[in-house]
Structure 1
Amino acid sequence: MIGRAFLAGFVLAIGGCGRDAPPAPAAHPTIVSLNPCADAILAQVAAPGQVLAISHYSHDPRGSSMPLAQARRLPATGGTVEEIAALAPDIVVGDSFTAPATRAALRRLGVGFAELPIAPTVAASEAQIRFVARLTGRPAAGDPLIARIEQSLADAAPPPDWTPPRTIVWQGGGLVAGDETLIAELMARAGFRSAAATRGLGQGAILPLEAMLADPPRVILAAGDPRAEQDRLLRHPVLARLHRTASARLAPRLFYCGGPSIPRAMARLAAIRRDLAHR
Structure 2
Amino acid sequence: MIRVFVLVLVLVVIPIIGLIAGCTPQPDVPDHRTAAGVSRIVSINPCVDAVLMQIADPRQIAGISHYSQDARASSVPLAWARRYRATSGTAEEVVALKPDLVIAGAHVAPSTVAAVTQMGIPLVQIGVPASIGESTDQIRTIANAIGQRRRGDALTRRIETAVRAARTDHAERLSALIWQGGGLVPGTGTLADEMLRVAGFFNISAGYGLKQWDVLPLEPLIARPPRVLLSVGANERDDRMLSHPVLDHLRDRIAVRRYPDRLLHCGGPTIIEAVAHLARIRRSL
Deviation at 1:108, TM superposition (A): 2.1
Matched, 1:33 2:34: no
Deviation at 1:251, TM superposition (A): 1.2
Match of 1:233 in 2: 241
Of 193, 203, 210, the residue aligned with 1:194 is: 203
Of 203, 207, 231, the residue aligned with 1:222 is: 231
Deviation at 1:196, TM superposition (A): 0.9
Match of 1:124 in 2: 134
Cα distance in 1 for partners of 2:85, 2:171 equals: 45
Deviation at 1:228, TM superposition (A): 9.6
Matched, 1:250 2:259: yes
- Opposite residue 247 of structure 2, the aligned amino acid is L
- Report which stretch shifted further, 194-203 or 233-242: 233-242
Cα distance in 1 for partners of 2:279, 2:197 equals: 11
- Report which stretch shifted further, 233-242 or 204-213: 233-242
Q: Encode CA deviations 1:109-147: one digit per residue, 9 max, x unaligned.
A: 222211111011000000011010001012111122111
- Report which stretch shifted further, 39-48 or 104-113: 104-113
Q: Encode CA deviations 1:142-186: one digit per residue, 9 max, x unaligned.
A: 122111111111111112x44111111111111111110001000
Deviation at 1:25, TM superposition (A): 7.7
Q: Secondary structure at the match of 1:173?
A: coil
Cα distance in 2 for partners of 1:125, 1:96 equals: 14
Contact kept? 2:39, 2:60, Cα under 8 Å:
yes
Q: Secondary structure at the match of 1:220?
A: strand
Unpaired runs of 5+ residues, structure 1, are 1-23
What does 1:51-90 align with in structure 2 at a 5 Å threshold? Answer: 51-90=61-100
What does 1:156-175 align with in structure 2 at a 5 Å threshold? Answer: 156-159=166-169, 161-175=170-184
Contact kept? 2:38, 2:100, Cα under 8 Å:
no
Higher relative contact order (CA closer than 8 Å, sequence separation 6+): 1
Distance 1:237 1:70, change over 3 A: farther
Deviation at 1:84, TM superposition (A): 1.6
TM-score when normalising by structure 1: 0.85
Match of 2:6 in 1: none
Cα distance in 2 for partners of 1:164, 1:64 equals: 31
Distance 1:227 1:77, change over 3 A: farther
Of 188, 205, 217, the residue aligned with 1:179 is: 188
Contact kept? 2:236, 2:242, Cα under 8 Å:
no
Superposition misfits of 4+ residues, deviation over 3 angstroms: none
Cα distance in 2 for partners of 1:42, 1:140 equals: 13
Match of 2:215 in 1: 206
- Opposite residue 143 of structure 1, the aligned amino acid is D
Contact kept? 1:177, 1:204, Cα under 8 Å:
yes
Deviation at 1:250, TM superposition (A): 0.5
Deviation at 1:235, TM superposition (A): 2.8
Distance 1:217 1:40, change over 3 A: same
Deviation at 1:234, TM superposition (A): 2.6
TM-score when normalising by structure 2: 0.83
Q: Encode CA deviations 1:65-97: one digit per residue, 9 max, x unaligned.
A: 122222222221122222222210011111221
State the identity %. 45
Cα distance in 2 for partners of 1:233, 1:247 equals: 12
Q: Secondary structure at the match of 1:176?
A: strand
Larger radius of gyration: 2
Cα distance in 2 for partners of 1:52, 1:177 equals: 33
